[in-house]
Amino acid sequence: MPYVVVRHYKDSTKLIDELSRRSDDVENLIRGIPGFIAYSLVRSESGGFSVSVYEDRAGAEESVRAAREYHQQNLSGVSAPPEVIQGDAVISFNA
């Protein structure tokens, strides 16, 4: 089963806006990680969250590391780091 990472950007509408503007950077970063399956960035009323899906835990953990590094280098003045939740998918299906 796939391994999933959710990043919760609480009270971070500015960060969601900035990530939207940098969609090419985000795509290049995420797609470059081995085992990548899917990624979505979702806007909510108070900020947003992303969902990343990888073939295995190693790819997911690399995405956490790469995203943290990107945030520190490019977005640290925009918001605090997100809450990161990750784990094995127990049910997974596609259209």
Number of Cα atoms under 13 Å in the Cβ half of residue 61? 4
Q: Is residue 81 in a domain?
A: yes
For residue 93, being part of any structural domain is answered with no
The domain of 55 spans 3-88
Q: Is residue 21 part of a domain?
A: yes
Q: Does 59 reside within a domain? A: yes
* Number of domains composing the chain: 1
User: Which run of H or E residues covers position 42?
Assistant: strand 36-44
Q: What is the pLDDT along the chain (95 residues), one digit of tens a residue?
A: 899 999 999 988 999 999 999 999 999 999 999 999 999 999 998 899 999 999 999 999 999 999 999 999 999 888 888 999 999 999 998 88
